[in-house]
């Protein structure tokens, strides 16, 4: 009961008075969601509501979220869940988070302050590693650097942390649910056309490196490279030559960093990925030579 009450208590001293809805798409996130809910419960600026858009979890995710005071609705893939949450939300501001992020206690207060003072319509922030290993930190530094460099060419927003005005989200039609991958890049690109989009610098969002640990740094890097080539050529990803799993992660633990360099792609997937990369690179070269 105490957790439920906390979700609706919001200090107004020097903080945004706009109603904030946090939306979290989930699928079997019992190992990670409790930590995020704990982090949200101790924010210096509490969210006005938390909506968990669950895609049919079998591990008790929805039940746990409900017991912790979150509103549970039917979800699907991340884009579907985010849109469903936005439709049911009561907030003028929508904060889309993934279950494996862990914001610091002043995260919401700091991002809202910069968001409003900067008069943004949609914004995201740079990332930090949950695990303080050197390799994780290097990955985050490289990712943030890439975000900085690529923005003028191709606006990016990591889907695990996006803050939007409801009016702009609805004007854009939300996330494109027909996309298999890179729906967050597509969202950022359309947001920049509809209003003011950018990266907030006052806070970073700590995120799990669980996908890198599971799929391997090289294998996952190749998948992201494939997606980036599509993004740079402004082509929507409606079908990918590889699998990109959603909601299939085990409990948090220290990974064997040597495993990061393994390539966990089947020979058939590798063949399709290599062929697709070659075609994309050839198309890019052809456009540059025109």
What CATH number does the domain containing 204 carry? Answer: 3.90.550.10
Q: Which residue has the higher pLDDT, 224 or 56?
A: 56
- In this predicted model, what pLDDT tens digit does every residue of 151-160 receive, in sequence order? 888 899 999 9
> Are residue 45 and residue 189 in the same domain, yes or no?
yes
| Among the listed residues 101, 59, 31, the one whose alpha carbon sits nearest the alpha carbon of residue 250 | 31
Grade residue 274 by pLDDT with cuts at 50, 70 and 90.
low
For the residues 254-283, what does the mean pLDDT come to? Answer: 51
> Are residue 152 and residue 218 in the same domain, yes or no?
no
HEC secondary structure over the chain:
CHHHHHCCCCCCCCCCCCCEEEEEEECCCCCCHHHHHHHHHCCCCCCCEEEEEECCCCCCHHHHHHHCCCEEEECCCHHHHHHHHHHHCCCCEEEEECCCECCCCCHHHHHHHHHHHCCCCEEEEEEEECCCCHHHHHHHHHHHHHHHHHCCCCCCCCCCEEEEEHHHHHHHCCCCCCCCECHHHHHHHHHHHHCCEEEEEEEEEEECCHHHHHHCHHHHHHHHHHHHHHHHCCCCECCCCCCCCCCCCCCCCCCCHHHHHCCCCCHHHHHHHHHHHHHHHHHHHHHHHC
> Are residue 157 and residue 285 in the same domain, yes or no?
no
> Are residue 48 and residue 69 in the same domain, yes or no?
yes
> Are residue 160 and residue 276 in the same domain, yes or no?
no
Domain that includes residue 82, residue range: 2-210
> Are residue 183 and residue 257 in the same domain, yes or no?
no
d(CA 27, CA 102): 17
Would the CA dihedral through 176, 60, 63, 36 be positive or negative? negative
Last residue of a domain, one of 160, 195, 210: 210
pLDDT number for residue 247: 74
> Are residue 81 and residue 152 in the same domain, yes or no?
yes
> Are residue 58 and residue 120 in the same domain, yes or no?
yes
pLDDT number for residue 205: 96
């Amino acid at each position: 009961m105490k957790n439920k009450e906390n979700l609706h208590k919001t200090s107004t001293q020097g903080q945004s008075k706009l109603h904030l809805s946090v939306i979290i798409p989930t699928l079997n996130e019992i190992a990670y969601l409790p930590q995020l809910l704990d982090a949200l419960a101790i924010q210096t600026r509490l969210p006005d509501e938390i909506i968990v858009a669950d895609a049919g979890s079998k591990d008790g995710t929805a039940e746990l979220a409900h017991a912790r005071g979150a509103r549970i609705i039917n979800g699907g893939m991340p884009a579907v869940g985010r849109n469903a949450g936005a439709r049911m939300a009561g907030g003028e501001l929508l904060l889309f988070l993934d279950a494996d992020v862990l914001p610091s206690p002043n995260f919401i207060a700091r991002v809202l302050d910069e968001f409003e003072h900067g008069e943004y319509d949609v914004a995201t922030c740079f990332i930090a590693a949950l695990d303080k290993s050197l390799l994780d930190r290097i990955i985050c530094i490289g990712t943030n650097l890439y975000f900085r460099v690529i923005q003028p060419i191709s606006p990016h927003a990591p889907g695990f942390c996006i803050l939007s005005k409801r009016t702009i989200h609805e004007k854009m039609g939300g996330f494109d649910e027909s996309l298999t991958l890179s729906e967050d890049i597509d969202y950022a690109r359309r947001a920049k056309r509809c209003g003011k989009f950018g990266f907030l610098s006052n806070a970073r969002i700590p995120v799990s490196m669980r996908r890198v640990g599971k799929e391997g740094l090289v294998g996952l890097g190749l998948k992201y490279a494939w997606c980036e080539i599509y993004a740079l050529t402004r082509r929507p990803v409606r079908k990918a030559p590889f699998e990109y799993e959603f909601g299939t992660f085990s409990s948090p633990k220290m990974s064997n960093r040597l495993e990061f360099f393994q390539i966990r792609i089947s020979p058939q997937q590798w063949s399709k990925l290599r062929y697709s990369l070659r075609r994309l690179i050839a198309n890019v070269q052809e456009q540059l030579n025109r």
